[in-house]
A and B are shown apart, each in its own frame.
Chain A
Amino acid sequence: MTSASGDRTWMDPRGCLFCRSSCPERDEGRIMFYKFNGFTQRLSGGAGPAAYCPQGLKPLVSTEPPTMIFDTPTKSVSELEGGGVHFLGRNKVPDFQQIFQKPDGLPVHLKRGVPDRLLYRTTMALTIGGVIYCLVALFLAAQPKKQN
């Protein structure tokens, strides 16, 4: 006997929590989930799904790990003939995943080595140079104009 959601987690073969003798709910194959109503201070029966989400909060995004499908569900031509036809290039994501998951302690913005370092240093040079130029320009702009 399964509950409405189709799994057997709530079914205890030794009987339900409240009485081991037969009970109409168990005989009918339904398991009673009791919830406490804080307003009326009484127990009331609830449906199975409420037991799984007592606050009524359902996950916004599925918590199941997604099955990764990079291409069409059916086998693509490139899989049949080892590396034959690719539509607009081969999938290089696994290679990148290897590169970026190397445990070399580098932060993500420098992970690729030389090109990242070059871009970072250029950006930082512009940042520092820019701040200095800005402060000088503002200092000069703040000087009073010479009165003739």
Chain B
Amino acid sequence: MAHQAHAYHMVDPSPWPLTGATAALLMTSGLAIWFHFHSLLLLYLGLTLLLLTMIQWWRDIIREGTFQGHHTPPVQKGLRYGMILFITSEVFFFLGFFWAFYHSSLAPTPELGGCWPPTGINPLDPFKVPLLNTAVLLASGVTVTWAHHSLMEGNRKEAIQALTLTIILGVYFTSLQAMEYYEAPFTIADGVYGATFYVATGFHGLHVIIGSTFLAVCLMRQIQYHFTSEHHFGFEAAAWYWHFVDVVWLFLYVSIYWWGS
């Protein structure tokens, strides 16, 4: 049997990059076909393929790390760099939307009435549900840290409890936000206020859903004994992502909900 004389991970050939690229093709073309010919089939096909790719690719990474032992310290270092760079790219993604918001709100045009919020817009009261949402996400930051410490101390039961609580708080945030969206007196089509509000908070909500899903996968892995007290990078990556989502919300709350009202 061949043995490697280095600590790095030479991955087995995998079909998932190809299926993922195909999913991207189908989703983009599907969007265009939907716009012009009202058919959703291609788009749905792309989304299905995306889901299958993500499940199988990340399943394989879990197999390679937890079951095959490929995630040595140098490999883990690479994974850490990767996650940090990815989160950094997401920061720049949101930076763009904050730029758009400040561009429009710092110097409101005469078409808006020369004021912010624009004439006719009734903004949401920042001290009602949005403040509750802030408390919910801050609390979830505490619970995820509690989960991490329990994990590092080898306390299985508490780690599972804290992680479950974090996910519940994430789902609570999402449902509160969904109800706000339903009840709001303005829509995405209501000028630049509606556009900046819904695009920025909408992408944030999507990231909350992604983060909650990542944490849920970590919960399943923790229940199945994948994590040890020394080695649990999947959980750390999920916690970093969750803190990032929390920080973005704080900026959204202060800029759009509070200052912007």
A residues apposed to B, CB below 8 Å: 59-63, 66-73, 87-89, 91-93, 96-97, 99-101, 103, 107-109, 111, 119-120, 122-124, 126-127, 129-131, 133-134, 137-138, 141
Contacts and interface: CB of A to CB of B under 8 A. Distances in A.
B156 A130 contact: no
Contacts of A129: 45
A10 to B, nearest CB: 25
B4 interface: no
B34 to A, nearest CB: 11
Interface of B: 1, 11-16, 18-19, 22, 25-26, 29-30, 32-33, 36-37, 39, 41-42, 45-46, 48-49, 52-53, 56, 60, 63-64, 66-69, 73-74, 76-77, 80, 154-157, 160, 223-226, 228-231
Nearest to B68: A100
Nearest to B53: A123
Nearest to B76: A61
B33 A130 contact: no
Interface of B is mostly: helix
Contact of A109 (B12, B77, B228): B12
Contact of B33 (A109, A127, A141): A141
Given A69-B228, A123-B53, A134-B29, A109 B15 contact: yes
B26 A134 contact: yes
Contact of B80 (A60, A91, A130): A60
A11 B225 CA distance: 44
Contact of A92 (B32, B42, B225): B225
A126 B156 contact: no
Nearest to B73: A61
B49 A100 contact: no
A133 B63 CA distance: 33
B73 A63 contact: yes
B49 A127 contact: yes
A61 to B, nearest CB: 4
B230 A66 contact: yes
Nearest to A129: B45
Given A126-B48, A127-B18, A108 B63 contact: yes
Given A59-B73, A93-B224, A126 B49 contact: yes
24 contacts: A59-B73, A61-B74, A62-B73, A71-B154, A71-B156, A91-B224, A93-B224, A96-B66, A96-B67, A100-B68, A103-B1, A107-B12, A108-B63, A109-B56, A123-B56, A126-B48, A126-B49, A127-B19, A129-B45, A130-B49, A133-B42, A133-B45, A137-B42, A141-B37
